[in-house]
Amino acid sequence: MQATRPTIVTADDTTGALETAAACATEGCSCLVVPHGADLPAGSGIPGALIVLDLRSRHLPPDEAASRLRSVVEATPDLRAHKIDSTLRGNWPAEVEAIAHAGRTVLLVPAFPAAGRTCVGGVVHVDGVPVHETAFADDPRSPVTTSRPTDRLPGAVSAHDLGAVRAALAEGVRIVVADAASDADLHVLAAFAADHPDVVLVGPAAAITSLVAPAQERPVPAPLRPRVLVVSASRHPTALAQLTGLAALGVTVVRPPADARIDDADGVLSRLADDVHRHLSADASIETLIVVGGDTAAAVIGDAIVTVEGSLGVGIAVGRIDLPGRRALRLVTKPGGFGAPDTLVDVLHDALGST
């Protein structure tokens, strides 16, 4: 899709917003991530730019999440896409219905094949296992109870290919859930959405990235600097394994205390963010901040706008951010459930090896 004005998309959490912007920046877009409630910065009207509005709606009450997204849809009639979690956590059913109730048609493509997430026969899988049978079923804030999106969307239908999508829309169906098992499937479905402005594409970052045409020349993010601070509150087993792997590198990791209460997630995150800002204030030599988990990223970033430069791997965004008292800090973010146990170690080795 060749944009003549900024493309606006929304996302339900912070790492998802950054991940989406990073993938699109890799395709040559100028990308900003703007938190809910913040004013768009001057210069955001650059033709061809992508603006990702970080709604931070994943853990709101469903009616509040729906209201937040619906207000954006009504104020932004050319909204093209909404990013949701690739493992069906969060308020995506309420958000999808809010888009439809606002008069738009929804094409839901819940797949990210490069990260092992596919939708086959209307069922979302992670590495071949239905998502409700994986560790995501035990997520402390948003447990996954079904692998079939239509179970949560009354009136929605599943479509095994683009022909079935077209047939459902021709019959007046407002919400269609499409199968996708490969990047090629994503590209076909995204191209259809790009050609139909009344359709809002909903799905993980990979689906939304497919809306953006590749640039002639793809920018490469500048290398990270060697003074690094890592922060994470994610309880996902993958994230915990990745943090363990950093110990041998001598990297400072800021985490909640071991006895932090799960039922006080907002308080835990607020205190964690305060700890991060104290570290940054006390050590001016820290140049790179690595944040694991969407909730952690939202707490640390606060109201700051992130200029996204590109990607360091599947789901891993890199950019620049101005935090209070610290200008032009490099920022790397990663969803808690993405990657292998050595992903963060590999990122640091690759990114710092040339410095």
Q: CA 173, CA 166: separation in Å to the nearest integer?
A: 10
Give tens-digit pLDDT for 272-327: 999 999 998 888 888 899 999 889 999 999 989 999 998 888 888 999 998 877 66
pLDDT at residue 261 tops 60: yes
- Cβ–Cβ under 8 Å, residues 69 and 333: no
Hunting for tokens 């829309």 — which residue is that?
169
DSSP per position, 221-245:
PPPPPS-EEEEE----HHHHHHHHH
Q: Is residue 60 predicted with pLDDT exceeding 90?
A: yes
Q: Count the neighbouring beta carbons within 10 Å of the beta carbon of residue 320.
A: 15
Structural domains for the chain: 7-209 (3.40.50.10840), 228-352 (3.40.980.20)
Please state whether beta strands 288-292 and 306-313 pair in parallel, antiparallel, or not at all (unpaired): unpaired
H/E stretch holding 114 reads none
Q: Alpha-carbon distance 96 to 112, whole Å?
A: 18
> CB neighbours of 343 closer than 8 A, spacing ≥ 6?
242, 313, 316, 334
Map residue 128 onto helix, strand or coil: coil
CA-to-CA separations, 99 to 32, 102, 234, 312, in angstroms, rounded: 23, 5, 29, 32
Radius of gyration of the chain (CA): 19
Average pLDDT, the chain: 87
Quick one: pLDDT band at residue 354, thresholds 50, 70, 90? very low
Listed residue (263, 241, 3) closest to 135, CA to CA? 241
Helices of type H across the chain? 14-26, 62-75, 92-101, 162-170, 183-194, 205-209, 237-246, 265-282, 294-301, 343-352
Instruction: Read off the pLDDT of each residue in 199-224 and give the average, rounded to a whole number.
Output: 76
Helices (H), 78-209: 92-101, 162-170, 183-194, 205-209
Model pTM score = 0.82
Mean pLDDT of 206-230: 72
- Asked if residue 2 has pLDDT above 60, the reply is no
Residue 241 structure tokens: 């394994």
pLDDT in tens, 88-144: 999 999 999 999 999 999 999 999 999 999 999 999 999 999 999 999 999 888 999
CA distance 205 to 95: 16
Q: Is the pLDDT of residue 355 over 50?
A: no
| Percent of the chain residues topping a pLDDT of 90 | 54
In this prediction, residue 259 carries a pLDDT of 75
